[in-house]
Structure 1
Amino acid sequence: MQADILITGAVIVTMDAERRVIRDGALAISGDTIVAVGKAADLAGIEAREVIDGAGFLLTPGFVNTHVHITETLIRGFVPGDLPFDETLGRWVIPLYKDHSPAEQAVAAKLAIAAMLRTGTTTFLEAGTVIAFDEVMGAIENTGIRGRVGRWTEDRAWDPAADAQKLTRDAFAALERDLAAYPQDGRRVAAWPNLIGHMTATDGLWQQVAELARRTGTGVSAHMSPVANDAEWYLAETGRRPVEHLAELGVLGPHLNLVHMVHLDAREAELVAASGTNVTHCPDAALRGGYGTMRRGLFPEMAGAGVNIALGTDGADNHDMMRVMSLMASLFRDAREDRSLFPAHQALEMATLNGAQAMGLSGTVGALAPGMKADVAAHDIRRPEWVPLNNPVEQLVSSADGRGVHSVWVDGVRVVENHRCTLIDEDALQAEGQVMAEAILARSGLPLVSEWPVL
């Protein structure tokens, strides 16, 4: 067999159908595809253009982050963490976010991509909050990452004087243009018709977007029920809880990814399971946001009912999926006093195979197996947190984090080498991002809120 790349001597967490973990393993890549995985001795006959000594490394599939706001990076750390949810969004996050210029959004997005790649994420689903859509797509298309991106889309006429029908027409037309300009035609970064969610989209837009996604083979991602506000609004306006209302509209299904989903009741969880709707949990954001996820979240029940649960990092403060996996493998054990909930291997499935399913990429990414895309993360297991190496999966989730990611391949292209992005000038990008962040915060007029003096 001929191959372009052969990595040999590594520990390999395959995530294949048998969930094999191979010590002294080898992985062969031809073009953008994995062509062989097994014991190094069994793959010794493969002739490769490039042979890489994998001793001292653990290979995993690239992680799949199914909820990330890629253009919030420039306001990282500035938004106070102790304010009520509505005030945080209304006074800080949304005004700061909408004040970004197209160039600033492009740089913010590229910073997020660098952070994801550097910590082993090779595929992401953007949260549907990109405003300067073309500029952002242009900035990230050559970074090497795989992604599905949506523009900021809402159409509810909060102003009684607004032309409600025009808002819906314009919102849907913009999504159609995006899918035509950036189709899922084999390119790594493509558009999805995402919605902001919560209560910001009308019934008509929900139905149009669901039909568009089904027709084009894309998907829809939307925020829903992180806190009680969404349920309260839907009950007051429709007499039904949010998921019940979406079910009544006929928009639930495998094309849909609902994000957060903390404040559900049992009936909503049943509807999600019956419809095949995907759910993304963002445990880091939920804990920091005080959503009540440990007290209210029905994630163990949804997982038990067969709901596909994936993981996301959410906002600007963290892009490391390994930190998110560690939280997922901990918080419900404590809340329910049940050590059997979400063990390490299940958290890893959520960050790989489940994420791929939520993005319609099952059989393409999420595992290291012949025929899958060559999306690979190489973790340096010579670091203190990895030694001694006894149980690779347990230690990946419980002991390590993304700082140990040494190299990353996407479609067989090495996009991170020796802890640095190969297709992004990180030094120049970081310098530009710092200048832009200072300008955004200065013109916002908002204060730096800090308990301790910053001199």
Structure 2
Amino acid sequence: MTNPILEADLLVSGAELITMNARREVIRDGAIAVRGNSIVAVGKREALERSVRARTTRDASGFVLTPGFHDGHIHITGDPLTRGFVRRVPDQSWNDNLSKWVIPLFKAQTPADEALAAKLSALAMIRFGTTSFMEAGTVIHLEAVMEGLAESGIRGRVGRWVEGRTYDPAADPAIRTGEAIELLQSEVEAFPDDGETLLAAWPVLVGHSTNSDEVWLAAKALADANGLKLSAHMSPRASDPEWFLANYGRRPVEHLADIGALGPNVCLTHLADTDMAEVELLAATGTSAIHCPHAAFLGGFGLARKGLHPEMMAKGVPLMLGTDGMAASILSSARLMAAAYRDARDDQDLLPATRLLELMTVDGAKVMGWEGRTGALIPGAKADFVLHDTRTPEWGGPLFDSVGQLALSAPPSAVHSVWIDGRQVLEAGRNLLLDEEKLLADAVQAGEAIVARTGLPIRTPWPVL
């Protein structure tokens, strides 16, 4: 008795597959079959070529094929159009730099600017193998951003800029809180998440000390009722713990646990200034942590001295990586995390290559609530996958250990082709859906106009003649 032939739209064969399945199998001379937006078969090339009849075939000899990567925290507006603009003033505090330089740049953007920035961000993420992301909660013009992202074909969850705490003694805090809660409700209704859509809105808070308890609880209730995730910034520096201690008498994670705002559908980004009691609360409540190595280590958060992300993972806290918009390559972020924490702990075996690949794939899927749907090459998962070209000097010749070579040696730019939801979006490093030249030209004009609207001075560290 012969097995029935499996019908497929695409068969990619001949690659070395890093499956990230439960057994973490690596399949040499492997193949993957896709029908619609899902993976329908994974195995050895010879077996699938016998058992699958595909409308299109692709020879992937010389490539490593992996699941698409996840970016858990990225500002897709603001930064992409003004990245070269010097915003930091060394003699000002971090909060002053944020309020007087960074935030004005975000607030000066028009809907067209934010749509353009979103497309640029998607272009960069896809180019480095990221197929799914969670936005950082600093979008102002959500409708325009969603339209821009839809052109790129990327998978993402996005939220408006939501605060909800007033600092003006004369203002009515109930009004500000009510406006924030209404904003959260409206975005979730406008862009619902049915589990299948590529783009949807989640309740993403600015976090820090900007959200009242009522806003935290309303966001948590929305996430609970709609099967969503709640994400927010927290404790990149000592200023957040200091504020919570001064106002509530307890540290941020302790306070959020006390009011009932933590849980398996809550993600807190940064958590650089955290103590072990807070780590225990994260583990006990199932709350996830999102670590952004570039923001932390380049921003001088002090992680080498006090960071507890390895301890979080040891305690079972779900953790994924984010670029924070400071880097497009999540692979580079993973390497930075490993290098910094290995040095800080004097432990060269900490965060091995296998762990880095997990953080970018299956762990990211788990934190996003997509376990079994993204992050692994398994039948039934979404067809989000990447072909990495191994024919570069950095791969080092033969594939002795593709996991180690990819995680520690391969150039991020070796991403050759990308599929998201069964649709190819990148080929030979070129985006198939976005006009790269026009986007980059438009970005130059838009960035100059944004800075001009803020009235902020353009500064350079060295004289420009």
State TM-score, norm by structure 1: 0.98
1:231 aligned residue (227, 241, 257): 241
Q: Report the alpha carbon displacement of residue 442 of structure 1 after superposing the two structures with TM.
A: 2.5
**Alignment partner of 1:126 is 2:135:** yes
Letter in 2 for 1:265: D
Identical aligned residues as a percent: 50
CA–CA distance in structure 2, aligned partners of residues 205 and 79 of structure 1 = 33
**Alignment partner of 1:454 is 2:461:** no
Give the 5 Å matches for 1:14-413. 14-45=19-50, 46-72=52-78, 73-80=80-87, 83=90, 84-185=93-194, 186-315=196-325, 317-388=326-397, 389-413=399-423
Q: What whole-Å deviation, never above 9, does each CA across 1:84-126 have from its counterpart, x for those lacking one?
A: 4223212211111111111111111110011001110000000
Contact 1:380–1:405 (CA under 8 A) maintained in structure 2 = yes
- Structure 1, unmatched stretches of 5+, are none
After the TM superposition, which of the residue ranges 222-231 and 134-143 deviates more from structure 2?
A: 134-143
Change (3 A) 1:81 1:61: farther
Letter in 2 for 1:148: R
Contact 1:79–1:93 (CA under 8 A) maintained in structure 2 = no
SS of equivalent to 1:240:
coil
CA–CA distance in structure 1, aligned partners of residues 302 and 383 of structure 2 = 38
Paired residue total: 454
SS of equivalent to 2:151:
coil
CA–CA distance in structure 2, aligned partners of residues 142 and 249 of structure 1 = 40
Q: What whole-Å deviation, never above 9, does each CA across 1:1-56 have from its counterpart, x for those lacking one?
A: 11111111001111001101111111111111111111111212111111101011
CA–CA distance in structure 2, aligned partners of residues 90 and 281 of structure 1 = 23
CA–CA distance in structure 2, aligned partners of residues 453 and 390 of structure 1 = 49
CA–CA distance in structure 2, aligned partners of residues 160 and 172 of structure 1 = 21
Paired position in structure 2 for 1:434: 444
CA–CA distance in structure 2, aligned partners of residues 63 and 78 of structure 1 = 29
Contact 1:79–1:88 (CA under 8 A) maintained in structure 2 = no
Contact 1:333–1:339 (CA under 8 A) maintained in structure 2 = yes
Letter in 2 for 1:14: T
CA–CA distance in structure 1, aligned partners of residues 87 and 161 of structure 2 = 23
SS of equivalent to 1:329:
helix
Contact 1:322–1:401 (CA under 8 A) maintained in structure 2 = no
SS of equivalent to 2:206:
coil
Paired position in structure 1 for 2:12: 7
CA–CA distance in structure 2, aligned partners of residues 221 and 68 of structure 1 = 12
Q: Report the alpha carbon displacement of residue 75 of structure 1 after superposing the two structures with TM.
A: 1.3
CA–CA distance in structure 2, aligned partners of residues 244 and 77 of structure 1 = 38
SS of equivalent to 2:104:
helix
Q: Report the alpha carbon displacement of residue 446 of structure 1 after superposing the two structures with TM.
A: 2.4
CA–CA distance in structure 1, aligned partners of residues 368 and 36 of structure 2 = 23
SS of equivalent to 1:44:
helix
SS of equivalent to 2:448:
helix
Q: What whole-Å deviation, never above 9, does each CA across 1:185-236 have from its counterpart, x for those lacking one?
A: 2210000011000000001111111011011001111000000000000000
Contact 1:85–1:289 (CA under 8 A) maintained in structure 2 = no
Letter in 2 for 1:225: S
Q: Report the alpha carbon displacement of residue 82 of structure 1 after superposing the two structures with TM.
A: 6.5
SS of equivalent to 1:141:
helix
CA–CA distance in structure 1, aligned partners of residues 89 and 23 of structure 2 = 45
CA–CA distance in structure 2, aligned partners of residues 410 and 142 of structure 1 = 13
Q: Report the alpha carbon displacement of residue 180 of structure 1 after superposing the two structures with TM.
A: 0.9
State TM-score, norm by structure 2: 0.96
Q: Report the alpha carbon displacement of residue 338 of structure 1 after superposing the two structures with TM.
A: 1.1
CA–CA distance in structure 1, aligned partners of residues 27 and 89 of structure 2 = 45
SS of equivalent to 1:180:
helix
CA–CA distance in structure 1, aligned partners of residues 358 and 47 of structure 2 = 27
